[in-house]
Amino acid sequence: MGAQWEVYALRYAETPVRSARESFIEWRDIHDAPMPLDYFVWLLRNGEQTILVDTGFNEAAAQARKRKLIVNPVDLLERFGVPASAIRDVVLTHFHYDHAGNVDRFPNAVFHVQDREMSYATGRCMCERVLVAPFSVEDVTQLVRHVYAGRVQFHDGHDAIAEGVEIHRTGGHSDGLQIVTVETQRGKLVLASDASHFYANMEKENPFPIVVNVADMLAGWRLIRKLSDNDMGRVIPGHDPRVSATYPRAAGHEDVFVLHEPPRG
Ligand SMILES: [Zn+2]
Ligand SMILES: [Zn+2]
């Protein structure tokens, strides 16, 4: 079955100490409890094709931003049996440093990006201190080099990447943010990436504070609910440790979680 994909979340970094109040725009009613944050890339595989969704960050970025890199995602992929050179298609949900680093490490890949993310990340908004903060000029410059090398495939809104794998631009968190849907044995999964950092952002209808356009973010949640038939068990948020806590581990791989199997509990 060409359209039935295996989907894995690879956890490569974490921010163990942070407060729940850092995760919501409306923070006054939020209990000041610990709310750790995980970082993932996602691997889609169907026996014929392998697609990587996002590329994580590297040790230099981790040090610059005081993040805890567990392992470079490229090395984590290799340990999981997928050398970077075997990746032909990379979908970048958006260009923030924790999603679009390591883009020099995939020599044979084409990068699937939204027109609006490239425009946003290279345009006038990047003169604004607040908006430029989550981007790395090194990553964005490398992506521009890939454009000139003919290795970027641009998309404008909804498109198909392969049979059973589709993208939708939602914007909101970043102007060209795209989510990914993928057909699996348990139905269509929605990789929401930073359209919803945590399940709780959607569940409480309370956006994460890094947001370019709140209305677009809310419309994105409506789209995610529609695409998942309103089943949050088929929605995968971008940074929620509940993913690692509820999905089964791939045998022998402590930081790889099997999303095409149902979550526990
Ligand atoms: Zn982001
Ligand atoms: Zn992120």
Q: How far is the CA of 134 from the centre of ligand 1 (A)?
A: 7
Look up the pTM and report it.
0.98
Instruction: Specify which residues 112 forms β-bridges with.
Output: 91, 153
Range of the domain at 58: 6-258
CA–CA distance, 209 with 18 (Å, rounded to integer): 14
Q: How far is the CA of 58 from the centre of ligand 2 (A)?
A: 14
The reply to whether 263 falls in a domain is no
Q: How far is the CA of 54 from the centre of ligand 2 (A)?
A: 10
Look at residue 2 and tell me whether its pLDDT is greater than 60. no
Task: Assign 3 a pLDDT band (cuts: 50, 70, 90).
Answer: confident
The reply to whether 1 falls in a domain is no
Q: How far is the CA of 1 from the centre of ligand 2 (A)?
A: 32
The reply to whether 102 falls in a domain is yes
Report yes or no: 263 and 9 within 8 Å, Cβ to Cβ. Answer: no
The reply to whether 101 falls in a domain is yes
Per-residue model confidence (pLDDT) at position 1: 46
Q: Could you read off the pLDDT of 174-215 as tens digits, one per residue? A: 999 999 999 999 999 999 999 999 999 999 999 999 999 999
The reply to whether 69 falls in a domain is yes
Can you give the CATH number for the domain in which 113 is found? 3.60.15.10
Instruction: Mark the residues whose beta carbon lies below 5 A from ion ligand 2.
Output: 98, 194
State mean pLDDT over 69-80: 98
CA–CA distance, 116 with 135 (Å, rounded to integer): 15
Report yes or no: 43 and 89 within 8 Å, Cβ to Cβ. Answer: no
Q: How far is the CA of 110 from the centre of ligand 1 (A)?
A: 21
What's the number of domains the chain is made of?
A: 1
Ligand located closest to 39 CA: 2
Q: How far is the CA of 94 from the centre of ligand 1 (A)?
A: 7
The reply to whether 225 falls in a domain is yes
Per-residue model confidence (pLDDT) at position 257: 98
Per-residue model confidence (pLDDT) at position 84: 98
The reply to whether 185 falls in a domain is yes
Q: How far is the CA of 211 from the centre of ligand 1 (A)?
A: 9
Ligand located closest to 57 CA: 2
Q: How far is the CA of 37 from the centre of ligand 2 (A)?
A: 10
